[in-house]
Structure 1
Amino acid sequence: MFGRRMEDLTNSTIPDEPPTPLFSDYIEIGYLGVVLMFGVPANMVILQKLIRELKMCNRDMVKSGFVMLKINLNITDLLILTYALGKLIWLTTYQWIGGEIACRFYQMFSMFSLYSSSNIVMCIALDRLRNVIYANQIHTKTNKISPVTVLAYSSWIAAFFCSLPQFFLFQTVEVYPNFVQCSDVWQITRHSTVEVKMFHNDSFILSQTFENTYNITHLIIVFWGPLIVLIVTYAVIATKLMKYSLRAPGTQSIRRPMPTAADDSPKDIIVHVNVEDGLLKKEGSLKKVVRCCAEEMITKQSRKKSNRRNGGKESTTTTSSTSTRMPTWRKQMRSRVFRTTMLVILTHFLFWFPYNALGLMKYINQGMFEVLSANANIFKDLQILITLINPFLYGFTTGN
C-alpha cells in the first residue's frame, strides 16, 4: 500500500521483458489529468479568496480561526495535487526516472500530504467543539497565540514526523536492464536479489512483523485514529446542543437608574437579559446593558411624542420590554460555518474510507482483501478526487 505495486515484483514468475501499461493505467492517467486540470486552478483561486477573507475578519476570532483552517486545508489539497502530478508522470513513463533521492522524497512527500490533510480535518472538528463549549465567551483576537494557530502548527509538525520513515523505507531497484522502479524495502527483500541499502539483511525492520506493525500504525494515524477523534468530538457537540435545547431559556431582570430626557431624576428601567448567552458574565457587559437601556428609553420617548401628536391618545403600538436574543450556541448550530464543517468532515470520511478499509481488510480477512485489491488504485484515487470537491464546499460560498 506504500507506492505503486509493480507486477514484476509481486508475481512469483518474473517475465523476460519489462511490463507495459494496462488499459486501466490509461484510464487512471486520464482521470488524474482531469483532476489536475480543474483542481489546481480551483484551489489556487480559492486560496487567494481565503487570504483576502482572512484580512477582512478584523478581530472576530471565531471567523478568522475557521478561515485560517480552511487555508490550511486548501494548502493540503494543493500538496495532494502535487503528489497526483508525480503519480501521473510515473504512470506515463511506467518506470521511475527520478533517481534514488527523488524516490525517497516523493514517497515521504506523498505520506506528508495525506497526514497533513487528515490532521487539518481533525483540527476543524476540534475547533468546532471549542466554539460550542465556549460559545458564551467573547471571541475577539488578542495578542496571545490563538488555539487555532497552535492546532495548525501541531498538525504540520506531526505530519512531517509521521511521514519521515518513508524516506528510509523506499529505494530504487533495477528490475530489468534500464528499467528502474521505486519500491519499499519489504517488496525488494521478498522479490529481488538487490541488497537493501539502509538496513542489513538480518535487520528486524525487514521482517514481516515490523512491516505489518508499520502498516497498521500508518492506517491508525492517517485515518482510523482521526476518525475516532471526529466521532467523539461530534458526539460531545451533539450532547452539548441537546443539553442547551432542553434547558429552558431563562431570563433575569436588571434594574438600572437612567436619567430621562425630560428631567434629571433617575428612573428605573427593566432590562431582560437571556441568561444562556452569559451576557452579564463577560467583561464589558455593562456597556451592553446600558445600550439596551438607552434603546428602551428612546423607544419610550418616541412613544410619548407620538401620544402627544395624537392628542394625548395612547398609541396602539406596543413595545415589548424584553430584549430577546438568539442564544450563541443556536447561532453556531445554524451558521454556515457549522454546516460547512460538517460537509468537509463527511466528504473526507466518504472518500477516504474505501482505501483505508481495504488496507485494514488485509489483516482481518485475507481472502476478501485479495478480491478487493484489484480495485486498490480506484480506492486510492478517491483521496485525490476530494481536492476537486473541497473548494466547492468551503470556497465558492459566502456567509457565516
Structure 2
Amino acid sequence: MPVLEDDGDEAAVPYALDENGNLAIPSIMVTDYVEMVVLVFLLLFGLPLNGFVLKRLVKAWMDGSNVNRQKEGARSTFLWLKIQLTLVDLILILCYCPSKLIWLISYQWYYGEALCKIVQYSWLFSSHLMSFAIVCIALDRVRTVYRLMHIEKNGKVPRSSATQLAFVKRLIVAAYVISAVLSVPQFHVWRVIEGENFSQCTTIWHYERASKYEKNPENYEMDVYPLERFYTLFHLLTVFWIPFLMLFCAYLYIVVYLFWYSLKPYSLSTGSPRFVKHSCEVDSNENLSLWNNCAPTSPVPVSTGSIKSGKFLLSSRFDML
C-alpha cells in the first residue's frame, strides 16, 4: 500500500503535512516502479500462459470417457487437481495484478470505500486459495500412499476411483469455502482516508494514526494496537504457516512410509503373505523319485496382482532336494 513518508529526522513516521497543515500526498518510490514492471510482466505472460494451459487441461478432461476415468482413477484425479491449481493461478492474477497496478499508477484511491473493501477481500481470498489448493494436492498424495499401504496389507483397493475423485472435489470445495470465510475480516479492517487533497485505502489502524498525526504532529508517537498485531499474525498463520506445516507433515509422512517400505524384503505378492508349501519334484519320464519316500507335489499357489488397467500373473515353484 502506498504510504506517506517524511524527510529528515522523522523518517520513521509514515506521514507528513503540507504547507496548509493537511496530510501530504505520498511520493512514489523506486520499489513501486519495480512492482509495476513485475505486475505488467505477469499480465502479459502469466495470464495467457495459464489460460492456454487451462484450456488444454479442460480439453483433456472432456475428451476422456467415464470408463477411462474409472480405470485410471489416479490419473483423472491428478488431472482434476491440475485444472484447479491452474484456475487458482488465474484467479490470483486477475484479482491482484490489475487492481494493484492501477493503484500504483494513480497512487491514490479514487474508487470509493466499497471497492476498497472488495479489492482487499479479493486479494486475501486468492492468497488463501492458492495456499489451500497446494495443500489439497499434498493431501491427495497422502491418500494415494495410504491406499498403496492398504493394498500391500490386504491385497485389495479400499475404495473405487470414483470415490477418490469425489474426495478430491470435496477438498477443493472446502478450500474455496475456508478461503472465503477467513477473508471476511477485510470488510471491517479496511476503509478510505478522505483528506483535503487526496484519499487513500488503508486499515482502520493506519486511519487512527493518520488522524492523530494530523491533529498533533509535534507530539506524535506511533501507537501499537494489540488487535492489529493479532490481525497480522492470524493472516500470516492462515496464509503461510498453517499450510506450510500441513505440507511438511504430509510429505514427511510420504517420505517416512516410502523409506520404511524400501527396507522391507522384496515380495512377489501384492496381497497378504501366503504359505508356500515346499515339495520335491518327481521325474515322470524316468519314474524315479529324487527323494526317497516322497509323495507327488501339490500345486503351488498362484499370486496375481494388477497394475492399473493391465494384469500380470506371477507363479512360483520351489523344489526341495
Structure 1 portions without partners, runs of 5+ = 195-205, 256-267, 294-320, 323-400
Q: 1:146 to 1:5 in 2, by over 3 A?
A: same
Kindly provide the CA deviation profile for residues 208-252 of structure 1, in whole angstroms up to 9, marking residues without a partner as x: 111111111111111001111111111111111011111112235
Q: Which of 40, 53, 70 is the equivalent residue of 1:33?
A: 40
Matched, 1:58 2:61: no
Distance in 2 (CA, whole Å) between partners of 1:140 and 1:105 is 42
Larger RCO (CA within 8 A; separation ≥ 6): 1
* Cα-to-partner distance string for 1:177-213 (whole Å, 9 max, x where unaligned): 2x2110010100112269xxxxxxxxxxx98111111
Partner Cα distance (2:210, 2:177) in 1: 35
Tell me what 2:31 maps to: 24
2:234 to 217, 227, 237: 217
Please tell me whether the aligned partners of residues 73 and 165 of structure 2 are also in contact (alpha carbons under 8 angstroms): no
Deviation at 1:176, TM superposition (A): 3.8
**Secondary structure of 2:161 counterpart:** coil
TM-score (norm 1): 0.58
Task: Give how far 1:138 is off.
Answer: 6.9
**Unpaired runs of at least 5, structure 2:** 7-12, 152-156, 214-222, 277-297, 317-321
Aligned with 2:200 (options 178, 181, 200): 181
Asked whether the equivalents of residues 109 and 199 of structure 2 are also in contact (C-alpha less than 8 Å), the reply is yes
Identify which of 103, 108, 117 aligns with 1:90: 103
Cα 1:211/1:138, change in 2 over 3 Å: same
What is the TM-score of this pair, normalised by structure 2?
A: 0.72
Structure 2 counterpart of 1:200: none
Matches within 5 A, 1:105-144: 105-135=118-148, 136=151, 137=157, 140-142=160-162
CA contact (8 A) 2:5 2:27 kept: no
Decide whether aligned partners of structure 1 residues 270 and 45 sit closer, same or farther in structure 2, where only a CA change above 3 A counts.
farther
Q: Does 1:167 align with 2:187?
A: yes
- Matched residue SS, 1:251: coil
Candidates 273, 281, 286, aligned match of 2:303: 273
Match of 1:157 among 157, 164, 177: 177
CA distance in 1, matches of 2:121, 2:138: 26
Are the structure 2 counterparts of residues 12 and 92 from structure 1 closer, same or farther at C-alpha, using a change threshold of 3 Å?
A: closer
Distance 1:13 1:94, change over 3 A: closer
What amino acid does structure 2 have at the position aligned with 1:175? G
Number of equivalent positions: 258
* Greater helix proportion: 1
